[in-house]
């Protein structure tokens, strides 16, 4: 059977679970514990054998449920780890953005990054405007630091009452789930920036506009 690797994550306030977070029956490859927004974030990478991905996922989820049974758990999840890619070239990555300043049909989109965008997708419907920013990423470069970029986009019609959606997540701007503490911090930082200090440029990237 094939081997599959999963990342296991648990949010808890139960220190009885924290103190035993060393799960040998998971065939544990690594594990960690740290505090996130008042919760203890438990993580581990596990390896298991199963005939296919679906069966492996079911098995991993059951292992986690059995391990945390009887403890107070805020949230839990397992995420399959894709096999390492043989390709080492750059790739376009949909990049999350954190802020939008709206002036009719003109949008100033602000996001936390030091990289320029290479492509923008805009999809307009009667009820929503979906904007996806793409950056080119290189596997051998570690992207660190905190910088903000801003791009000015023109829509086919005024935003009006339409919902703004981030195409990288498919969710509304500001829709941040319990696992996304880092994104919550980034959004708070971007929202706190002085708008007068943000230089919003017209995109030099390819803009794909659909409606």
Q: Indicate yes or no: pTM above 0.85.
A: no
Indicate the CATH number for domain 2-80: 3.30.70.260
| In the predicted structure, residue 202 carries a pLDDT above the cut 80 | no
The whole-angstrom separation of Cα 105 and Cα 2 is 52
Provide the pLDDT for residue 206: 74
For the chain, domain boundaries: 2-80, 91-210
Cβ 114 vs Cβ 128: under 8 Å: no
pLDDT in tens, 133-161: 998 887 766 555 578 889 999 999 999 99
3-state secondary structure of 78: strand
pLDDT in tens, 36-89: 989 999 999 888 889 999 999 999 999 999 999 999 999 999 999 877 655 567
The whole-angstrom separation of Cα 113 and Cα 120 is 15
**Residue 208, token pair as written in the block:** 């794909």
């Amino acid at each position: 059977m094939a081997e599959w690797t999963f990342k296991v994550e648990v949010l808890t306030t139960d220190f009885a679970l924290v103190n035993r977070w060393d799960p040998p029956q998971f065939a544990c490859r690594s594990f960690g514990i740290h505090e996130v927004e008042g919760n203890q974030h438990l993580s581990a990478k596990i390896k298991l054998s199963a005939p296919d991905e679906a069966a492996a996922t079911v098995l991993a989820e059951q292992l986690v449920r059995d391990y945390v049974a009887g403890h107070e758990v805020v949230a839990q999840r397992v995420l399959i780890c894709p096999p390492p890619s043989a390709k080492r070239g750059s790739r376009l990555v949909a990049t999350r953005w954190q802020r939008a300043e709206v002036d009719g049909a003109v949008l100033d989109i602000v996001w936390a990054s030091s990289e320029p965008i290479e492509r923008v997708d805009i999809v307009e419907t009667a009820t929503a405007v979906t904007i996806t920013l793409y950056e080119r990423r290189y596997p051998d470069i570690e992207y660190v630091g905190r910088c903000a970029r801003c791009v000015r986009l023109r829509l086919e019609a005024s935003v009006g009452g339409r919902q703004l959606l981030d195409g990288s997540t498919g969710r509304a701007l500001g829709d941040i789930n319990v696992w996304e503490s880092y994104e919550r911090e980034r959004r708070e930082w971007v929202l706190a920036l002085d708008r007068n200090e943000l230089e919003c440029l017209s995109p030099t990237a390819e803009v794909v506009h659909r409606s």
